[in-house]
A and B are shown apart, each in its own frame.
Chain A
Amino acid sequence: MMLVVFAFVLWVFGWWLNVRLANGPVADTKVVQLAVPVIFGVTVLLVWELLVRGLQVPLVILPTPSMIAARFAVSTSILWADFLQTFIKGALSGYVIGGVAAFLMAIAVDRSDFLRRGLLPVGNFVAALPIVGTAPILVMWFGFDWHSKAAVVVVMVFFPVLVNTVAGLRETSTMQRDLMETYAASYWQGLFKLRLPAAMPFVFNGLKIATTLALVGAIVAEFFGSPTVGMGFRISTSVGQLALDMVWAEIVVAALAGSVFYGVVALIERAVTFWHPSQRG
Chain B
Amino acid sequence: MRSLSAVLTVVAVIVSFWYAACIPMNIKGVLTEAERAGAVVVPEGARERRDLGTFGLVMGNQFAIPATWAQERPRLPAPHQVVVELWQTTVMKKITSKRSLVHHAWVTLSATLLGFAIGTGLGVLLAVGIVHSKVMDMSVMPWAIVSQTIPIIALAPMIIVVLYSIGVQGIIPKAVISAYLSFFPVVVGMVKGLRSPDAMQLDLLRTYHASRAQGFWKLRLPASMPYLFASLKIGIAASLVGAIVGELPTGAVAGLGARLLAGSYYGQTVQIWSALFAAAILAGCLVGVLGLIERVMLKRMGMAR
Could you tell me which A residues sit within 8 Å of B by CB distance?
15, 18-19, 21-23, 27, 32-33, 36-37, 39-41, 60-62, 114-115, 117-119, 121-122, 125, 128-130, 132-137, 139-141, 211-212, 215-216, 219-220, 223-225, 231-232, 235-236, 239-240, 242, 244, 247-248, 250-251, 254-255, 258-259, 261-263
Residues of A within 8 A of B7 (CB): 117-118, 121-122
Whether A258 pairs with B149 at a CB distance below 8 angstroms is: yes
Q: Smallest distance from the beta carbon of A159 to chain B beta carbons, Å?
A: 12
Whether B139 pairs with A130 at a CB distance below 8 angstroms is: no
Whether B135 pairs with A247 at a CB distance below 8 angstroms is: no
For window 251-305 of chain B, which residues contact chain A by CB distance below 8 Å?
256, 260-261, 263-264, 267, 269, 272-273, 275-276, 279-280, 283-284, 287
Known contacts A128-B284, A212-B149; decide if A40 and B140 are in contact (CB<8 Å): yes
Whether B162 pairs with A62 at a CB distance below 8 angstroms is: yes
Known contacts A128-B284, A223-B249; decide if A239 and B149 are in contact (CB<8 Å): no
Bound-complex Cα distance A211 to B150 (A): 9
Whether B75 pairs with A141 at a CB distance below 8 angstroms is: yes
Bound-complex Cα distance A41 to B147 (A): 13
Whether B134 pairs with A27 at a CB distance below 8 angstroms is: yes
User: Contact partner of B244 among A132, A137, A236, CB < 8 A?
Assistant: A132
Check B248 for interface membership: any CB of A closer than 8 A.
yes
Bound-complex Cα distance A106 to B287 (A): 24
Residues of B within 8 A of A231 (CB): 154
Interface 1/0s, chain B 139-162, versus A by CB < 8 A? Answer: 111110010111101110110111
Q: Smallest distance from the beta carbon of A182 to chain B beta carbons, Å?
A: 30
Residues of A within 8 A of B283 (CB): 128-130
Whether A223 pairs with B248 at a CB distance below 8 angstroms is: yes
Bound-complex Cα distance A225 to B264 (A): 9
Whether A133 pairs with B10 at a CB distance below 8 angstroms is: no
Which of B48-56, B120-128, B196-204, B233-241 is the interface stretch? B233-241
Check B210 for interface membership: any CB of A closer than 8 A.
no
Residue of B nearest to A112 (CB): B6
Whether B280 pairs with A219 at a CB distance below 8 angstroms is: no
Bound-complex Cα distance A117 to B148 (A): 30
Whether B158 pairs with A216 at a CB distance below 8 angstroms is: no
Q: Smallest distance from the beta carbon of B296 to chain A beta carbons, Å?
A: 20
Whether B140 pairs with A136 at a CB distance below 8 angstroms is: no
4 nearest CB pairs, A to B: A118-B6, A136-B264, A118-B10, A40-B139
Counting chain A CB atoms within 10 Å of each CB, which of B7, B138, B148, B261 scores highest? B138
Bound-complex Cα distance A215 to B149 (A): 10
Whether B279 pairs with A130 at a CB distance below 8 angstroms is: yes
Known contacts A41-B143, A117-B6; decide if A133 and B135 are in contact (CB<8 Å): no
Could you tell me which B residues sit within 8 Å of A by CB distance?
2-3, 6-11, 14, 75, 134-135, 137-143, 146, 148-151, 153-155, 157-158, 160-162, 165-166, 233, 237, 240-241, 244-245, 248-249, 256, 260-261, 263-264, 267, 269, 272-273, 275-276, 279-280, 283-284, 287
Residues of A within 8 A of B139 (CB): 18, 22, 36-37, 39-40
Residues of B within 8 A of A27 (CB): 134, 138
User: Contact partner of A216 among B9, B146, B151, B240, CB < 8 A?
Assistant: B151
Whether B273 pairs with A236 at a CB distance below 8 angstroms is: no
Q: Smallest distance from the beta carbon of B215 to chain A beta carbons, Å?
A: 20
Q: Smallest distance from the beta carbon of B51 to chain A beta carbons, Å?
A: 17
Bound-complex Cα distance A85 to B37 (A): 43
Whether B151 pairs with A254 at a CB distance below 8 angstroms is: yes
Q: Smallest distance from the beta carbon of B256 to chain A beta carbons, Å?
A: 8
Counting chain A CB atoms within 10 Å of each CB, which of B11, B151, B264 scores highest? B151
Residue of B nearest to A34 (CB): B142
Bound-complex Cα distance A128 to B154 (A): 20
Whether A117 pairs with B245 at a CB distance below 8 angstroms is: no
Known contacts A130-B280, A223-B249, A251-B154; decide if A61 and B264 are in contact (CB<8 Å): no
Whether A239 pairs with B161 at a CB distance below 8 angstroms is: yes
Bound-complex Cα distance A121 to B155 (A): 32
Whether A258 pairs with B161 at a CB distance below 8 angstroms is: no
Other than the given A27-B138, A122-B10, A122-B14, 20 more pairs (CB < 8 A) read: A19-B135, A22-B137, A27-B134, A33-B138, A37-B141, A122-B11, A125-B284, A128-B233, A128-B283, A128-B284, A129-B284, A137-B276, A212-B151, A220-B245, A220-B248, A236-B157, A240-B161, A244-B158, A247-B157, A251-B158
Bound-complex Cα distance A186 to B137 (A): 50
Whether B149 pairs with A259 at a CB distance below 8 angstroms is: yes
Whether B237 pairs with A128 at a CB distance below 8 angstroms is: yes
Q: Smallest distance from the beta carbon of A36 to chain B beta carbons, Å?
A: 4
Bound-complex Cα distance A236 to B269 (A): 23
Residues of B within 8 A of A119 (CB): 10
Cross-chain pairs A/B with CB under 8 angstroms, 14 sampled: A60-B165, A117-B3, A118-B10, A129-B280, A132-B241, A133-B256, A133-B280, A137-B273, A212-B148, A212-B149, A212-B150, A219-B154, A239-B160, A263-B149
Residue of A nearest to B155 (CB): A251
Q: Smallest distance from the beta carbon of A227 to chain B beta carbons, Å?
A: 16
Q: Smallest distance from the beta carbon of A246 to chain B beta carbons, Å?
A: 10
User: Contact partner of B264 among A140, A220, A261, CB < 8 A?
Assistant: A140
Residues of A within 8 A of B245 (CB): 132, 220, 223
Whether A236 pairs with B249 at a CB distance below 8 angstroms is: yes
Whether B149 pairs with A211 at a CB distance below 8 angstroms is: yes
